[in-house]
Structures are given as structure tokens and as C-alpha cells.
Chain A
Amino acid sequence: MANPAAKLDPLAARIAGLSTPDGAGWANEVRGDALSRLSAMGLPRKRDEYWKYSDPTTLNQPEAPRAGLFVTDEAMPFSDVDRLKIVFVDGVFDADASDDLSLEGVEVERLSDALARDIHWARDLFGVLETRGQTPVERPLAALNTAFATDGVVIRATGKAAKPISLIYLHKSETSDAILHHLVKVEEGASVTVLENGPAAARFSKCMEVEVADGGQFHHVRAQGRDHERRASTHMFARLGAGSVYKSFTLTVNGVLTRNEQVVEITGDNAVAHIAGAALGDAASGAFHHDDTVFVTHDAVDCESRQVFKKVLRNGAEGVFQGKIIVKPHAQKTDGYQLSQALLLDEDSSFQAKPELEIYADDVQCSHGSTTGAIDEEALFYLRSRGVSHGEATDLLVLAFLAEAIDEIEDETLREDILTRLQGWLDRHRG
């Protein structure tokens, strides 16, 4: 590694104000190891291969840049969904605002409670998948999260979770700097849906490690928005057993800087991983930069992975997609698919994509495609010639563009909820 000493100073400054929470011996060890990893790597730099298109400066600086509070009377996402609510305010668990944590088919605890116990299943997961996810590409912000996360939840699905677990992140302080770490373990044949929404903090670091055992199912739907000035760096690390299913969808609207990383490792045969996202940014109402960085590794036979990422960008909004499918030598019969597309609603907006395939097996089917395009003027005129207004016609074309990503949400209620958010954003951001 090139001269890590040169990078130490900013790192020391970055972590000076953070304190390592105290836990059981093993948990302290995990945090110590994470800090060592972080020290060895240093903070991300613009010249790092996977930070070329996104500037990590404001994620690295010691204090969170101020982010104005965003007030809306719009109902929060998932309001109509029957769910178990777990609320964090500026990164701190709010017991009063949260539901009772007991739920059929699943055990839910606060991270600090789990990490204080000498014996806990979390020991096999906390920092484990994050560590694995550091190769082949370093993710220092994830190590920082493991070392310093003060709060979060641990979820263990032992059967079919009776309802979705909904993590709600409220933002009430203009300078909050939140670090949350969640662990999800889906036991054999069990299933759980995890929802996330809310701006969380002025600056938000979130890491979720998800282990899905054989035949287990993990569903994840996330709505990031609508605050304009927030910054976030999130990581999802997943490991999938045989015949398991992992499906994650993220809707992002607004946000000065969002970096969403997903690192999925398929270790059991016949597993399925679908990772999708729709991001909408209008820089006329505040700078917008959104970065999806996704790595899927196939390390088993007969597995399927799909990455479907769409971005709608307007008035100078910036989108980034970095996606890689890695197929290990014995991972035969892999079916891998990756699609990243941007719809630029004007010439000021931009999209950067780095689609990659790294295939070492010979009997595989992998495809990837990336496109950047504008609204189809012929289609727009056709719609308008039938009386549909310019705005409404544009919306129809935008929704058509996003459809393949939205369709990845299996649950109809959740899909409708996300569509409502989308329509709301479109109504507020007419060209």
C-alpha cells in the first residue's frame, strides 16, 4: 500500500471527536480490529479508484457540515404499511417513539444490548461481513462505522416475520453526525422485510450486515429523502446461503451527497440477489449527487443476480454508478445481469458509470449495459399531440424509464408506496 503515513493526519482529525463505545470483550475486539483496518487504509481519497466520481471530502471532515431541517406535511413513507416501527432521532434510538420490539418470527434488540453480552449470535456477524467486503476494494468508511457505531438494531429472523421491521431515521439537529450499525441474521428458511426511511442526520453513516442462511429470504425497501442538504454514506454487506433470496430496492430523492454501497457475496448454490435503485435529483432545489456502488460476487453454482439502477437528473444533478459482477472460477451456471441508466432532463446534468464484469468461470451468462439518454422527443410530441400536457407527458416517460427498477419491489403495497413518493417528487419538480 502506498505510504499510509501521509494519510494519517486527516484520519486522526476525523476520529478525534468519536469515542469507542464499551461492550463485551469480543465486541471491543471487533471495534479495535476495525480501527486498525481503518488506520491501515486511511480515509477515502478522490484519487482512489472508486472515489473518482464522488468527492469524499465532506464525509471525511471532522464535523458534519450543517444541514438545514426540512419540514413537510407529507405523510412519511410506509405510513400505511402494517409494520414494527423503530425510530432513531439523529442516530439515537428513541424508545418512546418506537414500537415494542417483540414480534412473531423474529428477535429484535438494540445493538448496544447485543454487543454487551458475552455470548450472542451477533458475534458471528458484527464486523465479519464488513471485513470480508474490504477485498477486493477497500471501504474505509465502513470500517469507521464498525469501530464507532454507537447505536443500531440486531434482527434475527427465526421464522416468517409477522410484519416488516421499519427503521425510521428522523433528523432534528442541523449538525448531527449519526453512525448506525445494524445486523440482520435470517435463519434457515426464515424471512424478514426491513424498511428504512428518513434523512437520519446532517451526516449519516449506516452499515448493515445481512447474513441469509440456506432458504432464507431478506427483503429490503428503502426511501431516502426528502432533505436536500443531508449527506449519507451507507453500506449493505450481505452473504447468501444456498437457495436464499436477497432483494433490495432504494428510492432516493434529493440529498447533496449520497453514497450507497452494496456488497453481496453469494456463497450457496441456487441463491438469488436482486439489487435495484431509483434516484431522482433536481439541483435547482439544492445540489444533488448520488452514487451507487455495487459489488456482487458469485461464489456458488446456479445463482442469479440482477442490478437495476436508474437515475433521473435535472438542472445539474449528478449521478454515479459503479457496479461489478465477479464470478469465481467454480461459480458455473451464473446468471448475472447489470443495468444502469440515466435520464438527463437537460444538458447540465451528468451521469458517470463504471460497469464491470470479472468472470473466471466459463459456463456463465452475464450481461451488463449502461446508457445515458434524454427524453425521447418523438414520444413526447406523440403524447402531447393527444392532449397530454408537457409536464404530464414527461412524467409518463420518466415513470416508464424507471419501471424496470420499480418492478423489482415484489410487495404491491410497498411498490405503490414508492410510486406515490415518486409521483409526489415529479409533481414538485416539473420542468
Chain B
Amino acid sequence: MLEIKNLHVSLEEEDKQILKGVDLTVEAGKVHAIMGPNGSGKSTLSYVLSGRDGYVVTEGEATLNGEDLLEMEPEERAAAGVFLAFQYPVEIPGVGNMTFLRTAVNAQRKARGEEEMSAAEFLKVIREKAKDLKIDADMLKRPVNVGFSGGEKKRNEILQMAMLEPKMCILDETDSGLDVDAMKLVAEGVNALRDEGRGFLVITHYQRLLDHIKPDVVHIMANGRIVKTGGPELALEVEQNGYADILAEVA
């Protein structure tokens, strides 16, 4: 599904290399986790995959089901099936959460040549999914993420993911700042979407989230590279010993 080969990325504004040859393949139906110290390039990878400005790909490639992602505009990547749950969801005053989501759902459907969702159908579906995530009607009406608590913002990301039904879900530290209950809600939201045809890339610092979202593969990222790949046990090792041992071992 998602294939990243030898990806090198620098900042546009300054001459600084962030990703130094990332190789990663996420198969459909699988959950891959990426762990790694702060500043290792995890968020950068998620941004580059979703098409944020400010980065230059100097080498390598990234494809989704064979399609070159790096050539596409952010909205084209979204229509192709890429979804990023932001580490820091953006507040947008003046744009209603519902308006935003309906515009997004229909824009993607239109881009894929599918029929748009009617207002009534949309309302029915979103109410259902919001309920599962304990998002109340008031939150749906408010401007996007404005005045939301940290946990509410993260749940709102998962709601968007549930509505958009992407093929490749990238979650960037969706667990950070969540209490145990909120984390369970988020994990349930993610697990409900687990499907044969869908891949997940879950970026996290903690084993905790991975107790709820069982990963198939765990990668350790450090200094712009995937330095170690293993099974779920790798996450446990990080939880117990930190990154020091692993980094020393691969250095």
C-alpha cells in the first residue's frame, strides 16, 4: 500500500537535512508503529507524506498503491486515500466543524467521481460516529478545534478519519495529552476502522497506545532514519529501557 524508498528530505528555508534515507513499506490491513526520540523526524515524515509546504525531497520516493504521492497536491493525496491525524490539530476560527467536514467529504467524493453525500445522510452518519467518540452536538457546531481541549482535538481528528474513510491512516502522536479513557475512545475509533484494505502508520512515544491498537510491525526512528524494525516486542523493550540501548546497538 504505502511504499517509501530511500526518502531524503531537507527544509526549504534552511539547509538542513531532516530525513536521511527512510525505507518503509506498510501493507494493506497492517498496523505499523513508529517510535523514536523527539526530533528524530517522525512528524516531518508524516507532513511530507501529506504534502505540507516547507520541505524539499532531495532523493527517494513515496507511493500509495503505485501512485506517486510526492507529485500530488495535498487535496489530491487526501482523495487518493492519505489521512494524517495531526500532532497539533489546527484551530480555524469562523469555519464550523460540520461545514468543514461536509465540504471535505464531498470534495473527496467529487474528486473520486463519486456522488456527493446529501445533507440529511451526512447528518445521520456524523451523529452516529460522533456519539461513538463521545463528541457532543455542541462540539460539532463550534468552529474547527476552537476552544477544544487537547483530548477533544484528538478525538475530532479520529472523527474526521472515520468520516473520510481513508486507505492510509497516519496518526502522529494521537495519544499524547490523552487520559486513559480518552485514549481508549481513540483506540476504539481506530480499531473500528481496521480493515483488510486499510493501512495504518501510528507514531507514538508510548507502549500504552499500542496496548489498545496492536501493531503488526514496530519501527524505531532516530536521526532521520528507521534504525530498527521488529514485532510488538520492540515497543515493550523501548517502554522498559528507553531508546539508549537500541541506539547504542545500531550506532
Q: Which residues of A are in contact with B by a Cβ distance under 8 Å?
A: 376-379, 381-390, 392-393, 396-397, 399-401, 403
Contact = CB atoms under 8 A, between A and B. Distances in A.
A28 B144 CA distance: 60
B111 interface: yes
Contact of B75 (A387, A400, A401): A387
Contact of B103 (A378, A382, A396): A396
Given A378-B90, A397-B92, A383 B53 contact: no
Interface in B83-113: 83-84, 86, 89-95, 99-101, 103-105, 107-108, 111
B94 A390 contact: no
Tell me if A's interface is mostly helix, strand, loop or mixed.
Answer: helix
B73 interface: yes
Interface string B63-85: 00000000001110111000110
Contacts of B79: 387
B93 A392 contact: no
B107 A381 contact: no
A397 B94 CA distance: 8
Contacts of A393: 75
A390 B92 contact: no
Report which residue of B77, B107, B160 has the largest number of chain A beta carbons within 10 angstroms of its beta carbon.
B107
Contact of B94 (A388, A389, A400): A400
A384 B53 contact: no
Contacts of A381: 51-53, 74, 90
A383 B83 CA distance: 12
A286 to B, nearest CB: 29
14 contacts: A379-B92, A381-B51, A383-B100, A384-B73, A384-B78, A385-B51, A386-B100, A386-B164, A388-B104, A392-B103, A396-B92, A396-B95, A396-B99, A401-B94
Interface of B: 50-53, 73-75, 77-79, 83-84, 86, 89-95, 99-101, 103-105, 107-108, 111, 143-144, 160, 164
A377 B53 CA distance: 9
A339 to B, nearest CB: 14
A400 B92 contact: yes
A390 B53 CA distance: 13
Contacts of B111: 387
Nearest to A395: B103
A174 to B, nearest CB: 40
B160 A386 contact: yes
B164 A387 contact: yes
Contact of A384 (B74, B91, B92): B74
Contact of A399 (B91, B94, B104): B94
A389 B75 CA distance: 6
A390 B75 contact: yes
Nearest to B82: A385
B164 A382 contact: no
Contacts of B84: 385
A382 B75 contact: no
B78 A379 contact: no
B93 A382 contact: no
Contacts of A396: 92, 95, 99-100, 103
Nearest to B77: A385
A384 B83 CA distance: 11
B155 to A, nearest CB: 16
Contacts of B86: 382
B73 A390 contact: yes
Contact of A382 (B89, B99, B143): B89
Sort A-B residue pairs by CB-CB distance and give the 7 closest, nearest first: A400-B94, A387-B78, A387-B108, A386-B104, A384-B74, A382-B90, A379-B92
A389 B107 contact: yes
A379 B95 CA distance: 10
A378 B90 CA distance: 7
B90 A379 contact: yes
Contacts of B93: 400
B180 to A, nearest CB: 28
A386 B92 contact: no
B143 to A, nearest CB: 8
Contacts of B95: 379, 383, 396-397, 399-400
Given A377-B53, A381-B53, A381-B74, A387 B94 contact: no
B107 A387 contact: yes
A137 to B, nearest CB: 34
Given A378-B90, A381-B53, A386-B108, 17 more contacts: A377-B53, A381-B52, A382-B86, A383-B92, A383-B95, A384-B73, A384-B74, A384-B75, A385-B50, A385-B77, A386-B78, A386-B160, A388-B100, A389-B75, A389-B107, A399-B94, A400-B92
Contacts of A376: 92
B243 to A, nearest CB: 29
A203 B127 CA distance: 54
Report which residue of B89, B93, B99, B160 has the largest number of chain A beta carbons within 10 angstroms of its beta carbon.
B93
Given A377-B53, A389-B75, A382 B107 contact: no
Contacts of A385: 50-52, 74-75, 77-78, 83-84
A278 to B, nearest CB: 13
A19 to B, nearest CB: 50
Nearest to B143: A400
A399 B99 CA distance: 12
Contacts of A397: 92, 94-95
